[in-house]
Amino acid sequence: MVVPYGCPEPPHHRKQAFDVGEHGMGLMANSFRLGCNCKGAIQYLDGGISDQQGAPVVVKNAICIHEEDNGLLVKDTDFRDARSISARRLIISQIVTAANYDYGSYHTFTLDGTYKLRGQTANPYGTEVARGVIAHNHQHVFSLRIDPEIDGMKIEVRECDAIPLQYTDDSKTNPYGDGFFCQQRAVEGDLLCLVED
């Protein structure tokens, strides 16, 4: 993450903060507290990191895993026992504090296989580091690469298109013209992943 200030006046003309890289995101991780940062069914995980001298450090409750209601993605009521299934989404989050700013990252997984990453400046204005110091115009730019290798190196994304069955006078395979089949094709090239702020 880079924070360019875009101000030609000294001392801001030399400012270009790299909050995450310069300070170390793991070292700045917050410890979540029940009822303060996450809601719903919650599981906290401790973060195992190393300090600036390489010694092991444990940050208690550094990661929050919780479920949220996500409307109705799938609804199936079984007439035999009246059970129903509604949609939930799984969120894995972390909040770090870099100097006078708080940054949140939220990895969201939904039941349709969608993954979304949201980066958020939890404290968009920051707190004053020193009285009389004004931050001028600046922007928080998040950038990262996600390389999950879920199924190994040969992972691919496929599109499935509905292709109508052809009807000819001498063929009885689709006499009413409503037949179709699924044609799959691998998506080539890089997939674009946007981080919302």
Domain count, the chain: 1
Between CA 139 and CA 11 the distance in angstroms is 17
Backbone angles phi, psi at 165, to 5 degrees: -70, 140
Locus of tokens 């094709």: 185
Matching residue, tokens 């600036």: 52
Residue 191 located in a structural domain: no
Give residue 54's domain range. Answer: 3-148
Position 97 in a domain? yes
Could you tell me if residue 160 is inside a domain?
no
User: Which pTM value belongs to this model?
Assistant: 0.62
Q: What is the C-alpha to C-alpha distance for residues 103 and 66, in angstroms, rounded to an integer?
A: 18
Which residues carry out catalysis?
19, 101
Cα–Cα dist 106/196, whole Å: 10
pLDDT tens digits, 62-85: 999 998 877 766 667 778 877 666
195 inside domain: no
Encode pLDDT of 179-195 as tens digits.
888 899 888 766 554 44
Amino acid at 86: S
- State both tokens at 107: 């990895």
